Amino acid sequence: MGLAGRRAAKEFETNVFPKLKAEIDAVAGFPVPIEVRWDTLTKDETYVASWNDAWPKIYFTPMVEAFKSICADDLGKEALKGALKKVIVQDAKDSYSSWWATFEGGTLTLDYQFTNVDYVDDRTKVLRETLEKAL
């Protein structure tokens, strides 16, 4: 990764991600361990200028919205807190299908290719349904 990519990723990690993480924790009602695999998100610097706008839409806004739906009552909050041990955010499989969210062994993996950035509602629906089936 070049200097522009490293700077953009560091800026996101330092200035944008903490706010998103705080929002996720607040909605979930507990500190959600999130492992962002930055090296996979930054492998293609073609769209480096749009990372700050795109990464929340691809990964974090769907998580917030799905968690809001699931945690709408105490039953959902308890189910999520009891089952979710870690979230992995990555772009490893070059996937942009409806299989972007998996939940196995307490680990929620969000693996999505940098494409269809504005399809937030579609990703949210898949994520919510994936979690609801597992909880």
pLDDT tens digits, one per residue of 97-134: 678 999 999 999 999 988 899 999 999 999 999 999 99
pLDDT digits (tens, 9 = 90+) for 73-105: 999 999 999 999 999 999 998 666 678 999 999
Q: What is the pLDDT of residues 7-66, one digit of tens each?
A: 889 999 999 999 999 999 999 999 999 999 998 998 888 889 999 999 999 999 999 999
Number of domains in the chain: 1
d(Cα 79, Cα 107) in Å, to the nearest integer? 14
How many C-beta atoms surround the C-beta of residue 74 within 10 A? 9
Cα 13 from chain centre: 13
User: Domain range holding 52?
Assistant: 3-134
**pLDDT of 31:** 98
The whole-number pLDDT of residue 3 equals 84
Q: What is the pTM of this model?
A: 0.93
